Amino acid sequence: ILYRTIDQVLPIEAQLKNYKIPVETMPTESLFKEDFIKEILAYVKICFNRNDEINLLRIINLPNRGIGYNTIEKLIQISRQKRISFWEVISNYLDKKMFSSRIVKNIKGFIDLINSISKDIDLKPSQFFEILVKRVKFIEYLKSLKNSKQKIEVLDKLIAIAREMESSGRCDNIPEFIQLISLFENTDFWDLNINKVLILDIAASRISKFNTVFIPALEDGIIPFTSIANSKELLEEERRILYLGMTRAVKNLYLISAKERNLFNKRNNFPVSRFIKEIGDENLDSVNLYQSKKGKASQITPEFEETEEDFKIGKKITHPIWGKGIVKEITGYPPKLNLTVQFARAGVKKISMEFIRNFIRKQKKKKPEKK
């Protein structure tokens, strides 16, 4: 199952677990390749290891705090000459003859910031990230960059991943989180041969191919994102990402859109993704689980065992995908009546009564008369 937004993961994971289907969720490795994500993670790593020179040099002037290239070069030279760590240099060897009082003040401000952030390192990862982003003023920094809105969305995605890992019991503290993402940064460690349903970011799916692929939430507003609809360049990138996900399927590809979706605690009706329309009905075998439509949707039809046109509460039906079920409720007004069916495997589903009636009539016509 290839997802586009992190908010899709928990509902999908929960439903699979509800039916006792083994599932493995793999956070996106593409997220960890973003420079600004590496920068925020560098802050986290420095809180644990002040002698991590690579990450220290990455963040000492990020966001810009007036510690320029020449100053950093001098500090590195002192570190090499005295054979001590870069952190020790900025902590104990700031010669006011070599550096202006402004530079010294800025460096000490950075040291105080790291020491202050480190005091909260025992919090849960998602809580720690929220505090870190606020104290470093990282949102303000991202707003100064190109495509800032998308970058802020990705940063939110990182925090959401931390929350998801916490809720699933995979990590409860920052050291465990860092250990986990170190594996996700290198996809060579991913075991794709496990006997489980894999849930992974569509952008990370380039690492392998699968016999069967499901891509949910193919609606305008999600794929593609609403925020990029007016950008030809970003829209093309979204199209490329979907194509990448589609070409991961070897035998079966399921492209799924919802008639109604709960997003940000609000019910939304998104149109089917424009990318689906670009594929064309002639290239798709479609099934509408809400109501019969024209075109190929009528070619793939649920096969019910009922032989009567009228349905009553308590009637038993069988669906090729959802299995056996019992009619629990009939709602709506003629001619748009709906059946609420309790399926043994799939739970409660709503199905158009008119759709079922039309199908039964067709089935009756196909049956040979008894002699």
Q: Where are the domains of the chain?
A: 2-28+187-283, 30-185, 297-366
Tell me the CA end-to-end span of the chain in Å, nearest whole number: 50
- Residues near 340 by Cβ (< 8 Å), separated by ≥ 6? 327, 328, 329, 330, 331, 348, 349, 350
Strand segments (E) across 126-171:
none
Report the phi/psi class of residue 114: left, alpha or beta, with left for phi > 0 and alpha for psi in -120 to 50.
alpha
- pLDDT averaged over the chain? 77
Please, which pLDDT band fits residue 6 given cuts at 50, 70 and 90?
low
CATH of domain 30-185: 1.10.486.10
Q: Extract the tokens encoding 110.
A: 């950075």
Lookup result for tokens 């007004």 = 333
pLDDT higher than 80, residue 273: yes
pLDDT higher than 70, residue 236: yes
Give the CA-trace dihedral at 190, 195, 196, 198, to 10 degrees.
40
- Decide which of 65 and 201 is more confident: 65
Q: Extract the tokens encoding 137.
A: 């003023």
Q: How far lies 131's CA from each of 33, 164, 203, 272, in Å?
A: 22, 18, 28, 38
- Residues near 66 by Cβ (< 8 Å), separated by ≥ 6? 102, 103, 106
Task: Tell me the average pLDDT across 214-218.
Answer: 91
The whole-number pLDDT of residue 30 equals: 56
The whole-number pLDDT of residue 363 equals: 54
CA distance 193 to 198: 10
Pairing of strands 261-263, 266-268: antiparallel
Task: Tell me the average pLDDT across 33-48.
Answer: 86
Q: Extract the tokens encoding 29.
A: 């490795």
* Domain 2-28+187-283 grouped into CATH 3.40.50.300: yes
Longest CA–CA separation in the chain, Å: 111
The whole-number pLDDT of residue 116 equals: 93
Pairing of strands 323-333, 336-343: antiparallel
Lookup result for tokens 């069967």 = 212
For the ranges 1-10, 105-114, 295-304, 331-340, which has the lowest average pLDDT? 295-304
Percent of the chain with pLDDT over 90: 17
CA distance 194 to 176: 23
CA distance 13 to 23: 7
Q: Is the pTM of this model over 0.85?
A: no
CA distance 257 to 243: 16
CA distance 215 to 2: 5
CA distance 125 to 171: 8
Q: How far is CA 354 from the centre of its chain?
A: 37
**DSSP state string for 268-297:** E-PPBPHHHHHH-GGG-----SSS--SGGG
pLDDT higher than 50, residue 305: no
CA distance 335 to 306: 20
Cis status of the peptide bond prior to 11, with omega within 30 of 0: no
**Residue type for 208, please?**
S
Q: What is the pLDDT of residues 139-170, one digit of tens each?
A: 999 999 888 888 888 888 788 878 877 776 66
CA distance 162 to 170: 10
pLDDT higher than 80, residue 206: no
The whole-number pLDDT of residue 36 equals: 85
